[in-house]
Amino acid sequence: MRSTSLVLLCLSALSPACVDDARPPANTSGLDASGHFDLGPLPDRYVVPDVPPVDPCSAAPCGPVERCGAPAADGGVGSGNGLDDNCNGQVDEGCPCAPGEMRTCFPGASDRRGRGACRDGSMRCTELGAWVGNECMGATPARDEVCNGADDDCNGSIDDGLPTCRGALQCPPSAGVAPLQQFTLDARTIDPTATAYRWELTCPDGVSPCPAPASVTDPVLRVMPVRAGLYTVTLTLTRAGGRTEACRIPLYVQGRGLRVELDWDQKGGERSSGVDLDLHVAPMDRRATSSYRWFTRNDCYFATCKAPGGTVNWALSPTDTRFAPAATAEACQNAPPPFGDLWRASGRCWNPRLDTDDITCDPTVRDPGDPLFCFSENAAVDDPPDDVTFRLMVNFYRDHGTCTDTDARNDVVHPVLTVHCGGIARATIGSVDDGIVSMRCRDNPAIGSVNWSWLAADVRVVTNACGVRDCRVTPLRDDRWFPPCATVGDGDVCRDERGRVFVRRTVERAVESDIAETP
Structure confidence by residue, pLDDT tens digits, 352-398: 999 889 899 999 999 998 889 999 999 999 889 988 999 999 999 99
CA distances from 397 to 20, 125, 208 (A): 61, 31, 21
Q: What is the mean pLDDT of residues 173-182?
A: 88
Which DSSP category does 149 fall into?
A: S
In what helix (H) or strand (E) does residue 249 lie, and over which residues does it extend? Answer: strand 244-253
Q: What is the mean pLDDT of the chain?
A: 80
400-418 pLDDT tens trace: 988 876 676 678 999 999 9
Which pLDDT does position 59 carry in this prediction? 53
Q: Check whether the bond before 209 is cis (ω within 30° of 0).
A: yes
- Give the pLDDT confidence score for residue 75 in this predicted structure: 43
Look at residue 244 in the predicted model and tell me its pLDDT: 87
Q: How far apart are CA 236 and CA 13, in angstroms?
A: 50
CA distance 370 to 373: 6
Q: Mind listing the pLDDT tens digit for each residue in 257-282?
A: 899 999 999 999 998 889 999 999 99
Share of the chain above pLDDT 90, in %: 35
Residue type, 274: G
Report the pLDDT averaged over residues 160-167: 72
- The answer, yes or no, to whether residue 434 has pLDDT greater than 60, is yes
Which pLDDT score, from 0 to 100, does residue 203 have?
94
| pLDDT, tens digit, 9 for 90 and up, residues 466-510 | 667 788 899 999 877 888 888 766 678 999 989 999 999 999 999
Question: Can you give the pLDDT at residue 211?
Answer: 94
What phi and psi values does residue 24 have, to the nearest 5 degrees? -80, 150
* 122 pLDDT higher than 90: no
- What mean pLDDT comes out for the span 79-84? 81
Which of 308-317, 324-333, 448-457, 490-499 shows the lowest per-residue confidence on average (mean pLDDT)?
324-333
Task: Label residue 9 by pLDDT band (50, 70, 90).
Answer: very low
Give the C-alpha separation, 186 to 63, whole Å. Answer: 44
Per-residue pLDDT reduced to its tens digit, 247-257: 889 899 988 88
d(CA 73, CA 61): 17
- Residues 169-178: b if buried by 16+ CB within 10 A, e if exposed: bbbbebbebb
Q: Residue ranges per domain, the chain?
A: 175-253, 258-504
Cis peptide bond upstream of 352, omega within 30: yes
Q: Going by C-beta distance under 8 Å and a sequence separation of 6 or more, which residues neighbour residue 406?
A: none
What is the structure's pLDDT at 27? 36
Supply the pTM of this predicted model: 0.76
Pick from 480, 505, 476, 494: which is nearest to 98 by CA?
476
**Would you say residue 30 has pLDDT above 90?**
no
Q: How confident is the model at residue 55 (pLDDT cuts 50, 70, 90)?
A: low
For the four alpha carbons of 383, 386, 388 and 390, in that order, the dihedral sign comes to positive
Q: Which fold has domain 175-253?
A: Immunoglobulin-like (2.60.40)
Of 58-72, 217-231, 365-379, 441-455, the range with the lowest mean pLDDT is 58-72
Q: What is the pLDDT, as a whole number, of residue 78?
A: 64
Give the containing element (helix H, strand E) for 17: helix 16-22
Which pLDDT belongs to residue 70?
60
How sure is the predictor about 339, in pLDDT bands with cuts at 50, 70 and 90?
A: confident
Alpha-carbon distance values, 285 to 8, 124, 290, 302, 442 (Å): 37, 28, 9, 21, 36
User: Could you give the dihedral angle defined by the CA atoms of residues 503, 506, 512 and 514, in that order, rounded to the nearest 10 degrees?
Assistant: -30
Query: Could you tell me which residues come within 8 angstroms of residue 295 by beta carbon, excluding any fewer than 6 positions away?
Result: 280, 301, 303, 448, 449, 506, 507, 508, 509
